[in-house]
Amino acid sequence: MRADKVDERALKALLEEASTNIREARTAPQDDADRSPSLPPSSRRYRLGVGIMLMNRNGAIFVGRRMDRSGEAWQMPQGGIEEGESPKHAALRELREELGTSQVEIVTSTDSWLQYDLPDEVVKRRGHESWHGQTQKWFLMRFIGEDSDIDVAAEHPEFSEWKWVSAEELVRLIVPFKRPLYVAVLKEFDTHLRGNSR
């Protein structure tokens, strides 16, 4: 293309390409946990989400008692990934929304995506006909604040109460259909959890 004779079509194509490259550079992932997840077609019935194992300075794990279930329905924080959101950002957002705090450090995340199925009665009761389970990236985070920084009375609360528990108590408290998932998460984070217990 000569400077004194501009081909408008070529110029337009170059500008569009440059604009695309700039947009992609702005949203380029910084690390594996930032990457936008791509799942195989067989996973379409599973909601894409994140889970957070939050440990305190003594290596105990946060659990909250679900408001929408009767009995001892405890779980770790979790939630869906919004469109255009990285797993890491989704995990930090969910933590702020459910626990009212961002006083955390990310220690690590699971190497793979972990999946669980919802029981049929849960699918029917909650109206999740479009998805029958979840595929999640889990993050191990260290809580660096004080217990008073945690506030589960959010705008749309998920937990009625919360506490710190051991890994053994966590597995005992969780609803049975999530137990294999929690055992898998504990196995992935085992080295970090043992290194933080006193």
Q: Give the model confidence (pLDDT) of 157-190 as tens digits.
A: 889 999 999 999 999 999 889 999 999 999 999 9
Please check whether residue 92 lies inside any domain of the structure. yes
Q: How far apart, in whole angstroms, are the C-alpha atoms of residue 64 and residue 93?
A: 17
- Identity of the residue numbered 75: Q
Q: How far apart, in whole angstroms, are the C-alpha atoms of residue 174 and residue 80?
A: 19
Please check whether residue 10 lies inside any domain of the structure. no
Please check whether residue 28 lies inside any domain of the structure. no
Q: How far apart, in whole angstroms, are the C-alpha atoms of residue 116 and residue 57?
A: 29
Residue 118 CB partners (closer than 8 Å, separation 6+): 126, 128, 132, 133, 134, 177
Say how many domains are in the chain.
Answer: 1
Tens digit of each residue's pLDDT (9 = 90 or more) over 41-89: 445 688 899 999 999 999 999 999 988 766 678 999 999 999 889 999 9
Q: Which residue range is the domain that position 98 belongs to?
A: 43-196
Pairing state between β 114-117 and 133-143: antiparallel
Tens digit of each residue's pLDDT (9 = 90 or more) over 122-158: 777 766 567 788 999 999 999 999 999 999 997 778 8
Please check whether residue 150 lies inside any domain of the structure. yes
User: What residue has token string 């947009």?
Assistant: 23
Domain CATH number, residue 91? 3.90.79.10
Please check whether residue 17 lies inside any domain of the structure. no
Name the H helices within the chain: 8-26, 87-99, 120-126, 167-173, 179-196
Please check whether residue 1 lies inside any domain of the structure. no
Q: Is 173 helix (H, G, I), strand (E, B) or coil?
A: helix
